[in-house]
Structure 1
Amino acid sequence: MIARRLMLAAPALLLACARRATAQPITWNGVPAQGGLLRGQAAPGTRMTLDGRPLRVAPGGEFAMGFSRDHDDSATLAIIHPDGRREERRLPVAKRDWDIQRITGLPGGMVSPDAAALRRITRERALLAAARAVDSAGTGFMAEMAWPARGRISGIFGSQRILNGQPRQPHYGLDVAAPTGTPIQAALPGRVSLSGDYFFFGQVLVVDHGHGVNTLYAHLSERIARDGQMVEKGERIALMGATGRVTGPHLHFSLSWYQTFLDPQPLLPAQQG
């Protein structure tokens, strides 16, 4: 009888072992670093949290996670595999050095806004925060990122800006300088989640790429894509300008994971010429 039970149990045991042996590993591109976005693949049905925050995992297993400019030197990724097995990984987060930029010649009202401007800025920050909080099911974030415009790199992510001698928050974007009217393309496929004319950003678009990943395009002279419109990677969505707080025409291009600003430059291909 005992031998018969063992014989009946053996196939189930072998099947369970085979499933564990062939379980899809969790993989992602790149390494965790301050300001970094990781896009990865897990087995469908996997559940994960990063530093206690739940990660959205698509039906196909795609997921994204980001690390702020000033993230600690490690992060905790907690995993519940589809078979119920639990795992916790400590991820070392690479530290980065940031540049300091001094910008002078800005109009005083842009550096120290008056009470009316501050009320407007507060309203606009709430709208921008709402756009960055969108948690859609799209997986456009998995595509290879394309340059939104070609031109001279005039500002980089993470740099500390001092405006007319007054320290301000770090620069949370990549600036590309070129003449007004230069075409701007969507860096990734997605849906336009915000379109407007803002105090600091001037004419601005935000595109949602799914799972909290979004890109922002600011200081535009013209917005071509409409609010709610689906756009493809490389599709023309705007023209470069000098609206908002600027010293000349350029594109302020930023990448976010929900409310966490990230550095888009490591995800972009090398510029050609």
Structure 2
Amino acid sequence: MVTMIFMLLDALNNRHLLFLLAIFLLPSTVLSVTLEGERVQGGMLIGKTEPGNQIRFNDKPIRVSPEGVFLIGFGRDDSLQHTLEVSRAGKRVEKRQIEIAERTYRIQKIDGLPPSKVTPPKRDWARIKKEAALVKQARKCDDDRSDFTNGFIWPSKGIISGVYGSQRILNGIPKRPHFGIDIAAPVGTLVVAPADGVVTLAYPDMFYSGGTLIVDHGHQLSSSFLHLHKILVKEGDRVKQGDPIAEIGATGRVTGAHLDWRMNLRQARIDPQLLVPPMPTDE
């Protein structure tokens, strides 16, 4: 059918119309996808596609904004091969394989600790479970806001004392990996919003994380700020990048004052340090 149309148009010597039809018959040029970001474990990619397209990542549908913006992320131990599918009007028009790089992480072994420093006592288990449910609920927010498109800044300045992906083995028991970036600074040091967002959790004292604040950036991408001394915003507040939101503290299960900044994209725990420039230093 397409061959017959081309033959007819060529016979009519209508080269302009022939060119337009050729473009029309190449949807892949119109329905392309661009991806920007770090293609590594713990990384996040900002995607852009034609408005109206649907995206599936590893066979799961993900949100696409009216402007065609979407996010995909990779966890600490994710596989190195992923699949991205683009559809329009229910029909697949493109399938792409995404390869990411593997990372190595710091592993630290500490022996001879009191049992209470390895496993919390049973009297605290109910509290821990309740607080975990509050955090999970706060991270369920999922809407069209694309507050992440203007990029991220450091929420505070200090010494990087802990990195994403590191893990401790305490008295021979492997503990959960560290999923954030630790910024050591004195109690009371200001914390600002790394990007625009909406506050979904402001809790003064959790068992593990002490003063805890969560800011949602849209598309189920959120920042968590842990061990805070003081929270300066409340749930439901709209914040802009650079707005004061909290003060660094030493609350919860810590050994010193610092900010633990974590980020979640849907079920993936991503590395905040991959989204910001190098830590600024004082002159």
Verify same fold: TM over 0.5: yes
| Paired residues of 1:40 and 1:63 also in contact (CA < 8 A) | yes
Q: Find the residue that maps to 2:228 and give its secondary structure.
A: strand
Distance 1:235 1:246, change over 3 A: same
Write out per-residue CA displacement over residues 210-258 of structure 1, whole angstroms, 9 at most, x where no aligned residue: 1111000000000001111000011110000000010000000001101
Q: Which of 160, 168, 175 is residue 167 of structure 2 equivalent to?
A: 160
- Number of positions where the alignment pairs a residue of Structure 1 with one of Structure 2: 270
Name the structure 1 match of 2:147.
140
Q: CA deviation at 1:85?
A: 4.9
Q: Which moved more, 1:179-188 or 1:154-163?
A: 154-163
Alignment counterpart, residue 252 of structure 1, candidates 245, 250, 260: 260
Helix, strand or coil at the partner of 2:123: helix
CA distance in structure 2 between the partners assigned to 1:106 and 1:149 by the alignment: 32
Does the Cα contact within 8 Å between 1:205 and 1:217 map onto a contact in 2?
A: yes
For residue 176 of structure 1, what is the aligned residue in structure 2? 183
Q: Is 1:220 equivalent to 2:228 in the alignment?
A: yes
Q: Does structure 2 conserve the Cα–Cα contact (< 8 Å) formed by 1:106 and 1:246?
A: no
Q: Which residue of 1 aligns with 2:219?
A: 211
Q: 1:66 to 1:245 in 2, by over 3 A?
A: same
CA contact (8 A) 2:248 2:259 kept: yes
Identical pairs, percent: 40
Structure 1 partner of 2:120: 113
Match of 1:17 among 17, 22, 26: 22
Say which is worse superposed, 55-64 or 163-172, in terms of deviation: 163-172
| Structure-to-structure mapping, 1:24-173, within 5 angstroms | 25-81=32-88, 84-102=91-109, 109-163=116-170, 166-173=173-180
- Provide structure 2 residue ranges, at least 5 long, that are not aligned to the other structure: none
Q: Which structure 1 residue ranges, 5 or more long, are not aligned?
A: none
CA contact (8 A) 1:71 1:93 kept: no
- The 10-residue stretch of structure 1 (114-123 or 97-106) with the greater mean CA deviation from structure 2: 97-106
**Alignment deviations for residues 17-72 of structure 1 (CA, whole Å, 9 cap, x no partner):** 32447515311212421111111211101111111121111000111110111111
Kindly name which structure, 1 or 2, has the bigger radius of gyration based on alpha carbons: 2
SS in 1 for 2:42: coil
The residue type paired with residue 128 of structure 1 is: V
Q: Distance in 1 between matches of 2:75 and 2:202?
A: 25
- Cα deviation 1:55-100 (Å, max 9, x = unaligned): 1110001111101111112001111146945211111121111111
Distance 1:193 1:153 in 2: 26
- The AA in structure 1 aligned to 2:150 is A
Give 1:126 shift: 1.4
TM-score (norm 1): 0.90
List structure 1 segments (4+ residues) > 6 angstroms apart after TM superposition.
Answer: 10-13, 103-107
Cα distance in 1 for partners of 2:213, 2:171 equals 27
> How far 1:260 sits from its partner (Å)?
1.5
Q: 1:110: Cα distance to partner?
A: 4.9
CA distance in 1, matches of 2:266, 2:54: 19
3-state SS in 1 of match to 2:104: coil
Partner amino acid for 1:266?
L
After superposition, give the CA deviation of every residue in 1:183-229 in whole Å (9 maximum; x if it has no partner): 00111100001111211010000000011110000000000011110
CA contact (8 A) 2:157 2:280 kept: no
Task: Verify: 1:261 aligned to 2:255, yes or no.
Answer: no
The match for 1:187 is: 194
- Output one character per residue of 1:94-119: Cα deviation in whole Å (capped at 9) or x when no partner: 11111113568987545321222111
Alignment match, 2:250: 242
Q: Which amino acid aligns with 2:254?
A: V
Provide the rounded CA distance (Å) in 2 between the counterparts of 1:125 and 1:76.
Answer: 31
TM-score by length of 2: 0.87
235, 239, 259: which one pairs with 1:231? 239
| SS of match in other structure, 2:198 | strand
3-state SS in 2 of match to 1:122:
helix
